[in-house]
Homo-oligomer: A and B are copies of this chain.
């Protein structure tokens, strides 16, 4: 089996290395001679240094599509619509696709499932969520026999690193972000991480799988950590909480919820000690009960390893499909999310019914509240008058 890569960045290089170095083992495990034949890149002029010196680098995708030897394409760009067209064309040419690209899977999940079925090819995307953590395959194995009623995860290493730093060292957000960038845990442009969009994409994929319906990106409630400040962390810490950016999907009776927001965690939770760039994903099924997976959510080798295992599953015809997925959109009831919350509100805008307040703190410009159980929608009403960057909220677990 010849393989083509789309993209030759950090992950692409890792995949090429692992396929090359494990050639003999892969042969043993699959009875197939698997190697990377062609790599699609934008800049043909750039010098490349693959392990397999026979690899052809091309900027012509047709060279891959028309090559009948190539059975599987591994897509590892960070594009969205562009990646979708690549994958669509690949399916259309009868090629299996493996992707690590959460943007394209999150935007086009149902279309991709549909097209891969239509063209009778395999489509695997383990590395799109949780890097080296094999969460998707595990869910797909559990799903047919388990009514999975909830999923919850620390899905973004950058945010978790920043929050851990702020908690440990009482630093401000900007300093912790800078440190994350210096250490390579955050991109030069960290927007999609800190606003929660990266977590949102992963949650969209996970929610859609466990609920067997389309969970649209724009229907998931999203509140990132970009507006956090040191006082939030400190006040929560004094009350015994650590803050984590979570993506959560829940089914309660006939209602479904899916949201990304900061959550204040108590120290008896398994999530409490998941610090730094580590990811954790938990789900709960009726037979298996609660299971959690902890591991490296990103990085060249963990991610490449997940891709390699997808490749083996395709070669061994072990690829598992999503069970009974319904393309219809799931109606979420996020307006009914009821919980205790931590809130920070500028004093000028403070207008809150005392009966919902459990604890109240003041800093120079802000009021900080721990609420009783209250609807999220009520809080958002209150905040509608406040400028987006002047307030902060966190669910209290």
Q: B-contacting residues of A (Cβ < 8 Å)?
A: 18, 22, 25-26, 29, 132-134, 138, 141-142, 144-146, 267-270, 272-275, 282, 285-296, 299, 301-302, 304-305, 308-309, 312, 316-318, 323
Contacts and interface: CB of A to CB of B under 8 A. Distances in A.
A323 B309 CA distance: 14
B292 A293 contact: yes
B18 A309 contact: no
A268 B242 CA distance: 13
Among A18, A22, A273, A304, find the residue whose CB has the most chain B CB atoms closer than 10 A.
A273
A270 B275 CA distance: 9
Give 6 closest A-B pairs by Cβ, nearest first: A292-B294, A291-B295, A287-B305, A287-B301, A132-B288, A318-B318
Contacts of A144: 22, 25-26, 29
A305 B146 contact: yes
A331 B188 CA distance: 49
Contacts of A302: 287-289
Nearest to A282: B294
Contacts of A26: 144
A238 B287 CA distance: 38
A275 B268 contact: yes
A310 to B, nearest CB: 11
A291 B133 contact: yes
- For the residues of A in contact with B, the DSSP-based class is mixed
Copy number in this complex? 2
Contacts of A291: 132-133, 293-296
Contacts of A273: 267-270, 272-273
Contacts of A274: 270
Contact of A305 (B132, B145, B316): B145
A25 B288 contact: no
Given A22-B145, A146-B305, A270-B270, A289 B296 contact: yes
B295 A295 contact: no
A189 to B, nearest CB: 26
Contact of A289 (B134, B272, B293, B299): B299
Given A273-B272, A275-B268, A295 B287 contact: no
26 contacts: A22-B144, A132-B287, A132-B291, A134-B138, A134-B141, A141-B312, A142-B305, A142-B309, A145-B309, A268-B273, A270-B270, A285-B305, A286-B301, A287-B304, A287-B305, A288-B295, A288-B296, A288-B302, A289-B302, A290-B296, A291-B293, A291-B295, A292-B292, A293-B294, A316-B318, A318-B318
A76 to B, nearest CB: 16
A316 B294 CA distance: 28
Contacts of A308: 145
B288 A301 contact: yes
Contacts of A267: 267, 273
A5 B288 CA distance: 21
A270 B146 CA distance: 26
Nearest to A145: B22
Contacts of A301: 286-289
